[in-house]
Amino acid sequence: MKESKVRKKFVPDNRMQALIDRRLQLVVGQKRHVLCDNAEFLVYHWSGKASTFAPATGEHADKESRIEIGDHSARVDNGMDFPFTQEIPSRKNNSFELSALNWAKDYAFFIDHSPAEVYANEALVGEFHWQLDEARHFQYPDEQKEAGFLARELGAGGISFAHTCPDLSIGLKLGWTGLLDKVRKYKKQYQEKGESERVEYLAGSELVIESIIRYIQRHVDKVKELAASEINNDQLNIYLSIAETCEAIATRAPQTLKEAVQWIWMFQVVERMHGHGNGYGRTDQLLIDFYKSDMEKGILTRQEARELVGEMYIKYGSYTALGGRLQDGSDATNEMSWVCLEAYDLVGGINHLGVMWHPEMDKEFYAYANDILTRHGCGVPTLVNYDVLKASEVRSGYKPEDAWNIAYSGCQWYCGVGTEYNDQDVNSLVLLKPMQRAIELGIEQKIDSFGALWNIYNEEVDKTANALVDFKNATYNWQAKVWPEMVTTFCMHDCIEKGRDCTDIDAVRYNYTSVNVLGVPNVSDSLYAIKKLVFEDKTYTLAQMQAAIESDWEGQEIMRQHFLNCSKFGNDEDASDDMAIQVSENVREILESKKNIKGFNFRPSLFQYMGHTYAGPMLGATPDGRKASEPIAHGMNPMHGRNHKGIAATVESFCKLDFSKYQGGSFQLELTPNFFKTGSDSGKLMDSFSQNFFNKGGVQINFNLVDFKVLEEAMNDNENPIYHDINVKVTGYSSHFVTMDKKFQKEFIERVNYQNL
């Protein structure tokens, strides 16, 4: 929905409005793009080129093939490359090594050469333009790449990056200086024991923290310099306040809400310079004590609190979580949960916060979340089912004392706060590939029953899974040396204590490998159609079907229609829904039977964030009647236009799956404004709908209220400023519609398929 049309409950003052305006200008100026290498990266989550997402500048981004996947980057692109790339220690001295200490020296140099910037009106500072992966060589050794290409051949891939959720309470309690003391303490201990590897790691950590403290201190110097020549009294006061806050967090642990928010934002800035995009945990739990203490002392008003959190949202609306339960199982909603939602109602726009619902949640709070969701109409907050998240972690092997403290931390990811390295976001298993091999083998072996085809399919899925296991293990062997996540590690439990990076083996408490399974609805719709038309009705042979698919159904429209119009997942029809369950359970059992070298098993996720848009032509036509040029289904959501019985039936189909057995499976809900009758309480309806969905076992709702006519106009008139402030929830991340790649825009519009209900 258009940001400018939203009726906000809290009205921003001139200062806040100026910051909101700047946010939009950055987007319109294409300063917040997230890019990936190429279409292959989206489908397999690995292209063999980059080991991460492609930064907009630097060595990885090939301007011809890279794809803009949105504008949800915390980084602000200033159009320049990092100016000191050639002087970075590992390059300058030709001393590049795959080691944590070598990495740390580059990081310290990198941050020391990143400017401290302060912009007019802002009370919260910290903005970055470059990520270390643009300057430091980020490539795994060849053995890992070879395993990657083998996995690709069989339909799998992945990188290990993003959406871990550090426990910021560790940092808020100790401050940077306290963290430095902690690192030094353990370094000394390991020195005494003669454990040089751990000592070296902690020596690197020391360099990193020292550089971060210098970076914060440079912000103090910068505002003091600005203050010296400032004549506007209001601006002068802001500068002085920034100086005080930054001085405090450079020298001790934060004590006020303002210091805590600045600490959290600065952590995100220096952590995201790694190049990744983590989640930052349960903001309401992190900040409640600061809020209460300030309120008791009378040094804070609720509006000031909203503005502080709101400024952080303007800087970047990271993946954060509100609500959920406390360790004793009681509702975790507190005053700060309200402030965090109110802050959104003050600044609006793109944000990735999630509200973790459970049946005992404060009803008024949940009602407010739904009111915001429908009033702002751009997918904020994401609604997730806390009890299902927790149940799935417990099922994986989480101890109860850790499992309660989970947070929504990515498109549809959740993570143990500070206890889990979240290797979830970008592993991919393209389920259509083993199916395609199974069909070919089935024809070769002249099979005559669906059971026989299923057995071959099962073996082929297993082969693909094994290739992925080999690839991930090859990655894990090197990850902590190739690209340690040192800043994240400061706020992870047990890691500094062990002198190990959170990406390392035997570091964090939990490190399952979750895998995005792409194309479950297409595979199950295909297998069901084959079962019915080839083996039951014997209308066509497998070979006839295969020939038609190979020619993209050319000249076989009647056959295509027969395959297309078999019962399809998403219409609450048991025959096709049962197949979807069978297919999901099968890939789950196969993945769960595999262990990684860290000692944790693989897990499936019924989600894939954007691969479905580009996978079509790469994979060719499919037996579900899909032509090669069409996208494939998004996550577990039924294929566009195939859930002809409407949302209610789709919900029934969707919730036949037990989501506590999977690492998520978000439900994408795009409604046009006409869905809600004029004058009806859409917030209340959404409240009712979402609770009904969660009570049936659903795990996440990504909701958009979009007028598809407007989106069509926007797609054809991208440059027109009247469309610049339309925000949409793409798959779990938010983006301005006009900044998305054309293919994404088209897919998004086609998805809006509930308008005529």
Partner 1 sequence: MNKGLIYKIDRLNTHNGSGFRTVIYFKGCPLHCSWCHNPEGINPKPEVWINSLKCMGCGTCISQCPEQALGLIEKGVYLNREKCTGCQLCVNPCPTIAIEPLGAYYTVDDLMKIILQDKMLFETSGGGVTVTGGEPGMQSDFVVELLKACQDVGVNTALDTSGVVSLPSLGKMLQYCNTVFVDIKLFDDQASKYYTGLPLKKLKETIKYLNNYKKDTQNLNIEIRTPLIPGVNDDNESLKKIASFIQKTFTHAPKWELCMFNDLCEDKYNRMNMAWGFKGKKHAAKDYERINHLKESLPIDVTISGFVERNNKD
Can you give the binding site for partner 1, defined by CB under 8 A? 557-558, 561-562, 565, 646-649, 652, 673-680, 684-685, 687-689, 691-692, 695, 707, 709-710, 713, 722, 756-757
Q: If DSSP states are collapsed to H, E and C, what string results for 442-492? A: HHHCCCCCHHHHHHHHHHHHHHHHHHHHHHHHHHHHHHHHHCCCHHHHHCC
- Residue 136 DSSP symbol: S
Smallest gap from Cβ 144 to partner 1, in A, equals 49
Residue 232 or 539 with smaller CB distance to partner 1 = 539
Nearest to partner 1 of 53, 723 (CB atom): 723
Q: What is the distance between the alpha carbons of residues 575 and 522, in angstroms, rounded to a whole number?
A: 15
| Nearer to partner 1 (CB atom), residue 242 or residue 534 | 534
CB of 670 to partner 1, least distance (A): 14
In whole angstroms, the minimum distance from the beta carbon of 173 to partner 1 comes to 41
Contact indicator for 522, 539 with CB cutoff of 8 Å: no
C-alpha span between 715 and 735 (Å, rounded): 14
Shortest approach of partner 1 to residue 678 CB, angstroms?
Answer: 4
The 3-state DSSP composition of the chain as helix, strand, coil percent (nearest 5) reads 50, 10, 40
CA angle 365, 259, 113 (to 5 degrees): 120
- Least distance to partner 1 from the beta carbon of 377, Å? 15
Question: How far apart, in whole angstroms, are the C-alpha atoms of residue 38 and residue 257?
Answer: 42
242 in Cβ contact with 118 (< 8 Å): yes
How does DSSP assign 585-604, residue by residue?
Answer: HHHHHHHHT-B-TTS-BEEE
Nearer to partner 1, 63 or 677 (CB): 677
Is the CB of 505 or the CB of 685 nearer to partner 1?
685
What's the N-to-C CA distance of the chain in angstroms? 20
Q: Which is nearer to partner 1, 684 or 742 (CB)?
A: 684
Task: Tell me whether residue 597 or residue 722 sits nearer to partner 1 (CB atom).
Answer: 722
Q: Is 420 helix (H, G, I), strand (E, B) or coil?
A: strand
Q: What is the nearest approach in angstroms of partner 1 to the Cβ of residue 653? A: 12
CB 383 → partner 1: shortest distance, Å? 14
Between CA 285 and CA 331 the distance in angstroms is 12
* Minimal distance, residue 680 CB to partner 1, in Å: 5
Residue whose pair of structure tokens reads 């598809």 in the numeric block: 708
Q: Are 46 and 158 contacting, i.e. CB atoms less than 8 angstroms apart? A: yes
| Min dist. Cβ of residue 96 to partner 1 (A) | 54
Structure tokens at 41: 């990266």
Which one, of 745, 664, 741, lies nearest residue 414 by Cα?
664
Q: Hey, what are 175's tokens?
A: 């401050």
Strand locations in 103-245 (E): 156-158
- Provide the CB-side half-sphere exposure for 358 (13 A, CA): 19
Report how far residue 367's alpha carbon sits from residue 364's, in angstroms, rounded to the nearest whole number.
5
Q: Give least dist CB 676 to partner 1, A.
A: 5
